[in-house]
A and B are shown apart, each in its own frame.
Chain A
């Protein structure tokens, strides 16, 4: 899949994802060892984006299971298409029940959900299980089963075994502790806020029109905000938004007025805005 860690870095960069050495190394290793990758980190540091980028550079199909409270087997694994089955039953009135039954529990009436879809077929796939921490614990059990032998049993159809393992990425914001068993299955990657140099490059890539000196100042102020112990530290996504705002405002340098006018773009809570304004010596915001 990849020749080296540098190969990962270079190819990710081509799709617009700038990976830190930690990210590139872990992706490379996950591909080589064939292990799922568990990615944790604060909101907006590029966890989801990473999975998409990996799919893009490996010409793989991205299959995404978006987790939420209450997601269950029928959403994650497969479901029978009941409506279609009913139609079929009514259509075939002169068959024996046995015939009908074999027929309605066949491929044609199966609705594969992400986990099943990811192990069927022999094209390359990236399976993204996004925001795993939002799902209930029961889903973890299901996942563990699928991830340990990459096979799924549909009682009426038999067992589907992957002929080609997907590259699996799980993401979590750690709002719930994932089970030890699931963690043990995975390689672990914590993506942190990027360092200054990397963040400057991300901004330059996403908001190419912004002046270089201004970009550097902006990244420094974001760094200071992150050190401030706020309720929600600004993420990369917010840095990029701020850069876009400054470009739209036509600002050519960072000054008190510009910061005061746009701080709300970077900080999402009013109390954070107030705390930051005090620390940055801004007059009332």
Chain B
């Protein structure tokens, strides 16, 4: 048997080292101790069972659950399916796909069967077949790659839902029709289809890695942890995953805020009073006087653009702030597209149904006037006119939005007034900094008035919130 291309003589210890390096480039902190444990884990577990190897390495190298979303695809690259099972035939030399008539319909039939049976092994095999037959691009072997997206576009597994359901019904057995479980069936099938899509992505990555070198692909791989998903492009399932992360994240932030509060409460040395006190000791400052902090908790005001693509960002932040509400004496949330309305109540109620939050804001709050595009100037001005009472010397204001004014008056004066009335004002912008001030963005002008921060994903948001929130 010829040596498979992907394992070009890489010894197992080398592969573990490369795996560790790749994980580090994706932000996972791994010390030498963990690397040593990983090597010992491989020695103890052996290579015969790939799942055991995966779990063992994860146990040795990872420290929290979120890292698993990075670990799994990287592991798949360095320990591709066949490597764990010596004797299994190696993947082709990479020149295998030619234009051949590929039986797409046949594959769809078999996929429908596998989905109905929830047979993961069959699904994995079909994913490999699909990428092989539908995912290759370019014509000259060797000069080209494999695309998961192309595979999925051609195969369209999501359209199999109805067929899988029908197959389940026809199959009879457990699922007599009219059974209560029919109500959850569609969602179950959708989850299986999503699993299959993930298998296709993993397979395409593996193929490309065979061609271009695992290290290269591992480094450039886009890791899909929800907290790193770009707010502007996050899909439905990622937003759902993010929403599930709101409460754990809020708990962590609350701990951090409490720590900051404790530190602040220890107080700063009050120089004037220390010196005054030192008069009795002949001017030698014997007892530093600590300035006590006001015990009252701060107030928070959120002013959010909820139009189009920035809505996901706004909604996530609103939920996060709601989950943190007991950290503040008061939280008020305002939403706008081109008109401003207070949505504090909607959000407090919305904790039970976070998925519906965006919909409810658009239907129940007056955030749009006679057109549907955002108007920052109009909204900021209206906020100052109608809701200025929300701003006190205790409030911190966060403005959320991409600062894209659709060429309308940015209303700089209104933002200046907000900044004057509040204790602190910050702007969080979900666009990459490189795009600020391009097109109709007036990020720069707003950024002159209040500090503006790039806030593209949940990770950045939680770092900013942990740092900027008043305590």
Contacts and interface: CB of A to CB of B under 8 A. Distances in A.
Contacts of B179: 217, 253-254
Given A25-B52, A177-B255, A231-B352, A190 B65 contact: yes
Interface stretch (B11-19, B32-40, B150-158, B334-342): B32-40
A184 B118 CA distance: 37
Contacts of B187: 224, 227
Contacts of A22: 55, 58
Nearest to B36: A33
Interface in A179-210: 180, 183-184, 187-190, 196
Contacts of B52: 5, 21, 25
Contacts, number: 109
B251 A223 contact: no
Contacts of A231: 351-352
B44 interface: yes
Interface stretch (B224-232, B240-248, B397-405, B433-441): B240-248
A32 interface: yes
Contacts of B180: 217, 221, 253-256, 258-259
A221 B181 contact: yes
B31 interface: yes
Interface string B172-211: 0010000111011001100100000000000000000000
Contact of B45 (A29, A183, A227): A29
Contact of A33 (B41, B49, B58, B68): B41
B355 interface: yes
A280 B187 CA distance: 11
Contact of B56 (A26, A176, A190, A221): A26
Interface in B118-171: 118
A281 B186 CA distance: 14
Contacts of B352: 231, 271-272, 274-275
A35 interface: yes
A194 B62 CA distance: 20
B63 interface: yes
Contacts of A188: 58-59, 62-64
A216 B55 CA distance: 27
**Interface magnitude class on chain B:** 35 or more
Given A229-B244, A229-B354, A25 B59 contact: yes
A138 to B, nearest CB: 14
A5 B63 contact: no
B174 A213 contact: yes
B51 interface: yes
B293 interface: no
Nearest to B191: A227
Given A29-B44, A227-B187, A229-B240, A275 B56 contact: no
B12 to A, nearest CB: 16
Contacts of A26: 55-56, 59
A254 B55 CA distance: 36
Given A5-B45, A176-B255, A224-B188, A189 B59 contact: yes
B273 interface: no
A174 B63 CA distance: 12
A40 interface: yes
A136 to B, nearest CB: 11
A274 B356 CA distance: 14
Nearest to B29: A180
Interface in B215-245: 240, 243-244
Interface string A223-236: 11001010100000
Nearest to A21: B51
B353 interface: yes
B275 interface: no
B184 A220 contact: yes
A48 B394 CA distance: 45
A90 interface: no
A22 B71 CA distance: 14
A187 B37 contact: yes
Q: Which of A5, A189, A231 has the most CB of B within 10 A?
A: A5
A35 B33 CA distance: 12
B7 to A, nearest CB: 23
Q: Which of A25, A175, A196, A253 has the most CB of B within 10 A?
A: A25
Contacts of A21: 51-52, 55
Nearest to A25: B55
A224 B184 CA distance: 6
A271 B255 CA distance: 26
B266 interface: no
Given A220-B184, A221-B181, 13 more contacts: A5-B52, A25-B51, A35-B37, A176-B251, A216-B174, A217-B174, A220-B188, A221-B180, A224-B188, A229-B240, A231-B352, A253-B180, A258-B180
Which A-B residue pairs are the 8 nearest by beta carbons?
A: A224-B184, A183-B63, A25-B55, A271-B352, A187-B59, A254-B180, A22-B55, A190-B65
26 contacts: A25-B59, A26-B59, A28-B44, A28-B45, A29-B41, A29-B59, A29-B60, A33-B41, A174-B65, A180-B29, A183-B63, A183-B64, A188-B64, A189-B59, A196-B118, A213-B174, A217-B180, A220-B181, A221-B184, A223-B184, A229-B244, A229-B354, A231-B351, A231-B352, A254-B180, A255-B180
